[in-house]
A and B are shown apart, each in its own frame.
Chain A
Amino acid sequence: MRTGFLLALLLAAPAFAQDVTPALRRLLGAIDTPPTRAQLVEAGGRDTAMTLRALASSGREPTGLRRAALSALGHFDEPATRATLAQLTRDAAPLVRKAAVATLGFLVGRGLDAALLQALVDEAPLVRRAAIVAVARSPEPEVRAALERRWAVESDAETRALLGQALGR
């Protein structure tokens, strides 16, 4: 029952995106000065993280705004944030998947996340490349093995270049 309620909340989350304050929306439009956590909270209020998750998940919002929201979520390392990011690594829009992978990789750091390993075989090269950058900092043997597997089949030249760097080749 409780799980069902939480799931319903998660599914309803995109509807909240319309509640984004103008100040937060403006902040997410920064060109070259990324907002700090404090600035985000000041603009978005105490529910900023939830608002950002809703914004990132909303297919109705401009992709660029969703990308900015995904980046901003890197300031709010919470279980709900990681769950949202993992879910969005499977979004329909490659750009959203790429941004979700990048932020999830930032939060995971030198750790390991199954969603990131899965992103190594994403159909879109830009997502695979983001995944390589994201997992390369991890010393886990599983990461090395996954990179080796990808190296064996990767045909995209730019992605191979990054793979080669990650594998030290």
Chain B
Amino acid sequence: MSRHLERVRRSLLCIVLTAGCFEPPCESASEPGGPFIPCATPSFDAGRRDGGIDAGVMDAGRVDAGRVDAGRGDAGVVDAGRVDAGFDAGVLPTSDAGVRVVDFGLVSGRDGGFARDFVVPIEPSDEGFLIEVLGVSPELDVFQTTRIVSPRGVVLAQGRDVQQHRTRSRPNLRLANALVLESDDARGEWAPGAWRFRVESWMPTVDTAATVKVYVKPRPPPGVQRVGLNLFFTGSAGLTAATAPTQPRLVGALRGLQAFFLDAGIAVDPPRLVDLPPGFSAVTSRIDEDAGLPMVGTSLEVLFQQSRGAPQGLNLFFVESLELDPRLPPGAVLGVAGGVPGTTMTNGTGSSGVAILFDEATFVPRMGEADPLGLVLTHEVGHQLGLSHVFELDGEQDNLSDTPRSGAAAEANIMAPFAAGGSQWSPLQGVTLRRNPVVRP
């Protein structure tokens, strides 16, 4: 408890202090007498261009406190021994927050594994869960969790149109995540018992497979929760682990991030700082695929895979160029999240992070405008934890009942799509953020 209070105290101090916001860089972590800070050591395999299919082996048999092996009878193909998951196991959730892992193991589309119900046992003391589907084949398959059904038989998500979902489940390339309940419109359906869902592969003719896990979050005690933070630097605009603690723009932006999240009842831990090797400053595509031309720069998914081995927390990558679609003009994206939500519970996947454009070391205000970097950071982390834009230009709206839809109030929301000075969460946005299992009491 005292450790928790100390973390909260340090985060509060971050708002007014600078140096205290950072964990010591790894280089100094083992100084005599100094505290040991686990050094995030991503796999520095900068030349890797294999679409993220690391032949890593996840030991499905490892002992995790609270782990529920729901595979038998429900999950179809489960190799109780080893599972070629395609990703390092990374840092699986520790048991201190009581998050339970329901591990369905490897599911193959070939034997109809995607056509069955996955069942998640929910206790009265739980408050939500995160479904994580990670494709393990190099094919560009699209996954989506669908037919999420409450114990009362109410369907909260069905099909590909997320607008019809009371809990949105978005399709994504090679992996998919869904936060239940993402929406408080569906809160009335929350009940203990057997929750069910299915996994849909959009390319059933492709022989794809995926690992399926569910992270069940128990209802935390009242009070501020916390989340870890890993910052990855590519050298963009001279920003490195060594310069970060005194880089004015970054320090200011992190103050903003921490203050905004504290408003939502979440204390952001002092960040761990990691330098990536050369070759990651320019993101030139979203996914890794052979376009027949020399691949210059990196893909977003390979960038995020560099979080492999990092301690659990939110992974923020600072880059100099952020081009996601070669058909669109470059330079218009200030930040991007791995997903809505992203993969927050397993590091090293193609959606285990948030990328932020940092191509200017100094911000010179003109016409009185404020540096949007802190808002951009907060906004993208909001996506990563499960929040949608409060509105879109095409008329789409989020799934929460208390967010403003238009006008000045909507523009003032952090999840407005424009950097127009957003500074507020709605209460239900705060609830959704805190529901993500990466956020811990």
Contact = CB atoms under 8 A, between A and B. Distances in A.
The answer to whether A and B assemble together is yes
Interface of A: 26-27, 29-35, 39, 60-64, 67-68, 70-75, 95, 98-99, 102-103, 105-106, 126, 129-130, 132-133, 136-137, 157-158, 160-162, 165-168
Interface string B302-342: 00000000000000000011010000111111111100000
Contact of B46 (A26, A95, A161): A161
A68 B200 CA distance: 37
19 contacts: A29-B419, A30-B418, A30-B419, A31-B372, A31-B376, A32-B383, A33-B417, A61-B367, A62-B369, A74-B329, A75-B329, A103-B329, A106-B329, A129-B320, A130-B321, A136-B294, A160-B278, A161-B46, A162-B297
B333 A165 contact: no
Contacts of B367: 61-62
B359 A98 contact: yes
Interface in B273-303: 278-279, 281-282, 284, 293-297
A39 B392 CA distance: 12
A35 B365 CA distance: 24
Chain A interface helix/strand/loop/mixed? helix
A55 B261 CA distance: 34
B235 A39 contact: no
A163 to B, nearest CB: 9
A30 B417 contact: yes
A161 B332 contact: no
Interface string B425-437: 0000000000000
A60 to B, nearest CB: 7
Interface size grouping (class) on chain B = 35 or more
Interface of B: 46, 234-237, 278-279, 281-282, 284, 293-297, 320-321, 323, 328-337, 359-360, 364-367, 369, 372, 375-376, 379-380, 383, 389, 392-393, 417-420
Nearest to A74: B329
A137 B327 CA distance: 13
A7 to B, nearest CB: 27
